[in-house]
Amino acid sequence: MDRDDTALIVIDMQEKFLPVIPNIKEVIFNAERVIKVFKILKMPIMITEQYPKGLGKTVESISNLIETEPIEKISFSCFGEDKFLESIGKYNMKNLVLLGIESHVCVLNTAIDAVKRGYVSYVVVDATSSRKKIDYETSLKRMVQEDIYLTTSEILFYRLLEKAGTPEFREISKIIK
């Protein structure tokens, strides 16, 4: 994974999930950190919203961090939407870092489709969740079976940084602490 061939996809971090995801505060906190790191490193970020008329808009603290407009979708996989395909086609990426809600639905389907299309998929497990613990845990097992890499936000940060002593490291180390 290199900075110049990796993009972040923030999947369906929407308002209606707030009361039903047990660990939503931790998930949002870690998602915000990942987004901030990608911004510091000047790496591409895409964001989606699953049926926003029913599930609401992206959580404000996350939408405030991202300049691009969310891609509305009804397909569980982001790859099922023409606008997403058009957007991702603008980047020459090999690696996709995914985070969001729900891990067993839209995150899993997107990760599987990414692998089928030749991308290497990484799912940030501490910035991803589901309503039910069993769905979350089973989705992680399924991801491993589908050759999708699991990571945490901190593992990801240090992988992208590669070394200490840089201006980016100093800025990101403040986020990590």
- The residues annotated as belonging to the active site are 12, 73, 106
Which token pair is 51? 């049926």
- Three-class SS state of 2: coil
Which token pair is 135? 């769905």
Residue of 160, 140, 137, 126 whose CA lies nearest to 32: 126
Which token pair is 161? 């940084």
Let me know: does 1 contact 122? Beta carbons within 8 Å: yes
DSSP state, residue 79: G
Which token pair is 163? 């070394």
CA distance linking residue 149 with residue 139, whole number of Å: 12
| Gyration radius (Cα) of the chain, Å | 15
